[in-house]
Amino acid sequence: MATTLGADLGVDGADITVTCGATEALDVLALSLYGPGDEVLMLEPVFDVYIPQARLAGATPVTVPMRLDPVTGWSFDPGALGAAVTPRTRALLLNSPFNPTGTVFTPDELADIVALARQHDLWIISDEVYDELYFGERPVSVRTLAPERTFTVGSAGKRLEATGWRVGWIAAPPGLGAGLSGMRQLTSFCSPAPLQAAVAAALPIARQDGFYDTLRAGYAERLALLSGGLRDLGASVFEPRGTYFLTARHTHWTAGSLVEQAGVAVIPGEAFYVRHTAPQGLLRVAFCKSTEDIHLALERLERYVRSQS
């Protein structure tokens, strides 16, 4: 499978480490790249596994808050990221397309991040599990800008709509794949061989037969349905440029009340904050559901809104 992935990602197959899903890939990198006394930078809101993985490795996670503008949506301040670097900082952990915000970093933003990493000699861990699930222009991989220091994490589950298979990977800087593979043997030893063979066979087919175009088109339709429905119900919606999550705000909604009174499950924004305060009323809403389920959720939300008026 490593040879197939190498061809797909444009790297040497020897620099690919196959893992049991992207979560294990991120854990292998945490255990390999930092430890006690080290710090790792990440943006907040932060995907939930990053914090405990850093702590389990003995390192200190340092979060830098993103900004949420009511009109333009999510952004980050490169200056704030640079100000958070200390002599103990070992790595920058990125997520683009970004779960939970749906942000896709621009080439200029990635250039700023790479310049910062080179200035302070930091590793870059780039979580790109949603690399084929974007809306608009194809995201730039930071690996193309800084191959000498970037570890890219991918997921067959996200790419192929096969989340239960739990096959992920790490594309390492040249020459560093063997060391990661050695660490990876101490976690779960290997990803199931039959599933690796299935992924290796599926990836070239997906690339050639328009699978990803169809995938994106389907999610774009569901995104439009959900975001339009939420706006009609009075929510502020911040549409993603990637992933199958959107963020929304409503002054009178909480995740708890929506589950208990509307029968609609969402994630509260504060679940993604550990150091800073989440914007009031922030929710993460998934559209990796059927159109029928999204229509049903919107109908339930509409009844809930009427009951509150």
Residue 126 has a pLDDT of 98
Average model confidence (pLDDT) for the chain?
95
Residue 261 DSSP symbol: I
CATH code that applies to domain 2-208: 3.40.640.10
Band of pLDDT at residue 209, cut at 50, 70 and 90: confident
User: Of the CATH numbers 1.20.990.10, 3.40.710.10, 3.90.1150.10, 1.20.120.1690, which one belongs to the domain with range 211-308?
Assistant: 3.90.1150.10
Q: What is the mean pLDDT of residues 225-253?
A: 97
Amino acid 96: pLDDT: 95
Give the residue-averaged pLDDT of 211-227: 97
Contact of 122 with 33, CB cutoff 8 Å: no
pLDDT at 5: 75
The mean pLDDT value for 242-266 works out to 96
Phi-psi region of 104 (alpha: psi -120 to 50; beta: other; left: phi over 0): beta
Peptide bond just before 97 cis, omega within 30 deg: yes
**pLDDT surpassing 90 at residue 191:** no
Is 80 exceeded by the pLDDT of residue 1?
no
At 275 the pLDDT is 92
Percentage above 70 pLDDT, the chain: 100
Both tokens of 85, joined, read: 């670097």
Distance from C-alpha of 117 to C-alpha of 91, rounded to nearest angstrom: 8
- Domains of the chain, residue spans: 2-208, 211-308
Tokens 């002599």, located at residue: 87
**Once rounded to an integer, what is the mean pLDDT over residues 107-130?**
97
Angle, helices 2-9 vs 193-208, to 10°: value is 30
Q: What pLDDT, in 10s, does the model give residues 160-177?
A: 998 888 999 999 999 999
Q: Which residue has the higher pLDDT, 21 or 4?
A: 21
Q: What is the pLDDT of residue 184?
A: 86
HSE at residue 226, side-chain half, CA atoms within 13 A, is 29
> Do 2-208 and 211-308 come out as alike in CATH topology?
no
| For range 1-19, the mean pLDDT | 84
| Start-to-end CA span in the chain (Å) | 56
Q: Give the residues across from 63 on adjacent strands.
A: 42
263: alpha, beta or left? (left if phi > 0; alpha if psi -120 to 50): left
pLDDT value at residue 152: 97
* Both structure tokens of 78: 């490169």
Mean pLDDT value across residues 278-296: 97
Q: What is the band of 57 on the pLDDT scale with cuts at 50, 70, 90?
A: very high
pLDDT at 138 over 90: yes
pLDDT (mean) for 24-40: 96
Q: Which residue shows structure tokens 């192929």?
A: 160
Q: CA-CA-CA-CA torsion for 37, 43, 49, 54, nearest 10 degrees?
A: -10
Cβ neighbours for 121, distance < 8 A, ≥ 6 positions apart: none
Q: What is the pLDDT of residues 59-118, one digit of tens each?
A: 999 999 999 999 999 999 999 999 999 999 999 999 999 999 999 999 999 999 999 999
Range with lowest mean pLDDT among 52-56, 125-129, 160-164: 160-164
Candidates 232, 160, 222, 223; CA nearest to 196 is 160
Which residues, 6 or more positions from 225, have their beta carbon under 8 angstroms from its beta carbon? 287, 291, 294, 295, 298
